[in-house]
Structure 1
Amino acid sequence: MTAVLAGRLNVRTRAFSVEEVPTPRPGPGEVLVKVEAAGVCLSDAHLIDGTLTPLHLPGDTVTLGHEVAGVVAEPGAGVTRWRPGQRVLLQAGEERGGVVWTRGVDYDGGWAEYAVAGESTLVELPDDLPFEQAAIIPDAVSTPWAAITATARAEPARPAGVWGAGGLGVHAVQLLRIVGAAPVVAVDPLPDARERALALGADVALSPGDPELPALVRAETGGAGLAVAFDFAGVPAAREQAVACLDRGGKLVLVGLTDQPLTIADGTAFSYFQQQVLGHYGSADEHVGQLVELVRRHRLELSRSVGGVLPLAEAQEAVDRLLRKEGNPVRLILRP
């Protein structure tokens, strides 16, 4: 093997192409992984369109893909834990010199036939977990899980709302049920997304365009409002609407990314009711490990999250399909 396919982005020109690159080699403490599945995330699309820019990338070009699962192909020097043939997923990033680098952003990711990963960033997979489902656990599932358990500290039998029931938000609905939040309210402008949220465990699904939405949320919660509201949409109007639905002491957790300012329409009421706004980004290694264990124990099921599988050569089509919301997919998967 002298050359393999990889989806490469020039972050200076924003030119993206699937092209042949030299086969990567694992260095000391690294593992070469044969990629079996890689998720297509909206942040990948935003890297291509210029909305996002890497912070630590040493050059101009990077292989995209931070949601990756595959098989160990070759352990590097000094690696004793991993052996060829083991089924693994890759953490979405790693710490280097006290700074967190993101795979597929700051260094080469998994839109490729092979990927190199630090040995500590591999997580072993159960034999019965398909690669397509495993690949999306880092980020698509782990980000909402970390937001729910670490940032919001959502509690059993306490109301929770999810604004944006797409790639991350629909998993938040499932995960809120796991921690016992009740009721779980999903808010999304797309009828298909609302139906999917109900199918995956939301107690009620509402349109943000409904002028009665805050009243409907309070009726569903016995007049109190939400203990926690999650913004997975990154839309200022969604954030303002979510604040209007909070209970006394309620928390708004910002997960969806936007460069737009955050505004609180009634600052006096926000302070009087001792409400909070909390920022959230990504997840830690332990969150991915927890989710793999939940899947292993059949507490979490992700088959409905895979909206389609495309060959790596059609990566641009997968991005375009995601942006068009064609078929309303939770996640599209690339298969080298």
Structure 2
Amino acid sequence: MKAWLFTGAHEPLVRIERETPAPGEGEVLLTVRGSGLCHSDVGRMDGTLTPYMPKKPPIVLGHEIAGVVETAGPGVTRFAPGDRVVASGTIAYCPGRDADGGYASHVLLPAACLLPLPDTVSFAQGAAATDAGQTSHSALVNAGGLEAGMKVGIIGLGGLGMTAARIAALLGAEVHAAEPRREAWDTASALGVRGVVADADGLAPLAPDLIVDFAGFGTTTAAAIRAVRPFGRVVQVGLGVARAEIDMQVLIGRNVTLRGSGGGTPADTAAVFAMMARGDLEIAASTIGFEDIPEGLDRLARGGVIGRIVAEMT
């Protein structure tokens, strides 16, 4: 098998070939067909998130995985060779963080973290759904308590933020967004966003019931706390910086709830697949080849990517 190995912060990925593993009890070997690139892997490579990795380098990164079951290990009854599946990680277990992930031709995974991929959903869309979809849905519904008719603010229209904006609109919310890159505004409008402002403080006149911050630069979190209505809720997903300051007086004085949200559950991924299967949701994504994964991560690090990048394996 071939893979891109992460050896440590500030080091480039290393192209390797090694023996393809065999699945053990409760495990499945996947042939990877789609592997999404996530900014969290940029954070691991630049040292921001490296100290928080349960499995230290060397490790194969990549936690947005879609593929085909090649071999099912002993005790696996839900999946068989040829099945189209995705890996839907959780807080407890996530490939590319707790074990080798999807920047590879093959990956070994616990069968418990797999979900069937609907025939109408492509491998690229399936891979993107496991993070951009799952994380966005969980932030809105589980952490944010979104209900139809609520006014929702989205900070950051990257891969997750753009997906969250569409999901919120599909769930009946009035959606507004803050994004400095004006090239993303038209796409957001087409997905159901009522209006976009360049700065998070521009959401304040709207007094949203809920704001989800997908940027996470500290300044954006502080602006969300100022902008949300009194007794409203701010959900923090983005991790642009590891540490930030917020105004405690504003947080307490306005009775704002601030909650962190990372990842989600297979139920969130399943809900996203249902939207996709109905034709209501398509995650904005561009595709690259396996050999282009390092360059794709460089593009994420530089900024300016609209939507997700998914490496398609052949």
TM-score (norm 2): 0.93
Q: CA deviation at 1:14?
A: 3.4
Aligned-pair CA distance for 1:301? 2.5
Query: Which residue type is aligned with residue 45 of structure 2?
Result: I
CA distance in 1, matches of 2:140, 2:146: 6
Identify the residue that residue 292 of structure 2 maps to in structure 1: 314
* Other-structure match for 2:71: 74
CA drift at 1:33: 0.6
Indicate yes or no: 2:245 matched with 1:262. Answer: yes
The answer to whether residue 113 in structure 2 is matched with residue 121 in structure 1 is yes
Question: 1:206 matched to which residue of 2?
Answer: 197
Paired residue secondary structure (2:196): strand
- The one of 10, 24, 45 aligned to 2:7: 10
More displaced, 249-258 or 270-279? 270-279
**Structure 1 residue 114: Cα displacement:** 0.7
Q: Does the alignment pair 1:244 with 2:222?
A: no
- Contact between 2:9 and 2:47, CA under 8 Å: does it hold in 1? no
| One-letter code aligned to 1:151 | A
Is 1:293 matched with 2:274? yes
Do residues 48 (structure 1) and 27 (structure 2) align?
Answer: no
Q: Which has the higher contact order (CA 8 A, sep 6+)?
A: 2
User: Whose radius of gyration is greater, 1 or 2?
Assistant: 1
The CA distance in 1 between the partners of 2:24 and 2:96, in whole Å, is 18
Q: Closer, same or farther in 2 for the Cα pair 1:162/1:79, shift >3 Å?
A: same
Residue 97 (structure 1) aligns with? none
Deviation at 1:93, TM superposition (A): 4.3
> Cα 1:16–1:171, aligned 2, differ >3 Å: closer, same or farther?
same
Query: Which residue matches 1:91?
Result: 88
Does the 8 A contact of 1:66 with 1:93 survive in 2? no
2:48–2:242: 8 Å Cα contact kept in structure 1? no
Within a 5 Å distance, the mapping from 1:179-198 to structure 2 comes to 179-182=171-174, 184-198=175-189
CA distance in 2, matches of 1:329, 1:205: 15
CA–CA distance in structure 2, aligned partners of residues 271 and 325 of structure 1 = 34
Q: Residues 23 and 114 of structure 1 are in contact (CA less than 8 Å); yes or no, is this contact kept in structure 2? A: yes
- Checking the alignment, whether the CA contact within 8 Å between 2:153 and 2:177 is kept in structure 1 is yes
Partner of 1:142: 134
Contact 2:10 2:46 (C-alpha < 8 Å) held by counterparts: no
Count the aligned residue pairs: 311
Structure 1 residues 271 and 52, CA, compared in 2 at 3 Å: closer, same or farther? closer
Q: 1:184-217 CA distances to partner (integer Å, 9 max, x unpaired)?
A: 11101100122221121110011118x7x25xx5
For 1:188, the aligned partner's letter is E
Percentage of matched positions with identical amino acids: 30
Contact 2:101 2:107 in 1 (8 A): yes
Instruction: Compute the displacement of 1:78 (Å).
Output: 1.9
The answer to whether the 8 A contact 2:2-2:16 is kept is yes
Q: Is the 8 A contact 1:66 1:102 kept in 2?
A: yes
Match of 1:333 in 2: 310
Establish whether residue 170 from structure 1 lines up as the match of residue 157 from structure 2. no
2:5 corresponds to which letter in structure 1? R
After TM superposition, the structure 1 = structure 2 runs for residues 273-288 of structure 1, keeping only pairs within 5 Å, are 273-288=254-269
Q: SS state of the match for residue 248, structure 1?
A: coil
Could you tell me which runs of 5 or more consecutive residues in structure 2 were left unpaired when the two chains were aligned: none
Deviations 1:265-323 (A, max 9, x none): 7x1x5434322111111111211122122222333233xx112x222122111111222
Show structure 1 runs of 4+ deviating over 6 A.
none
TM (norm. structure 1) is 0.87
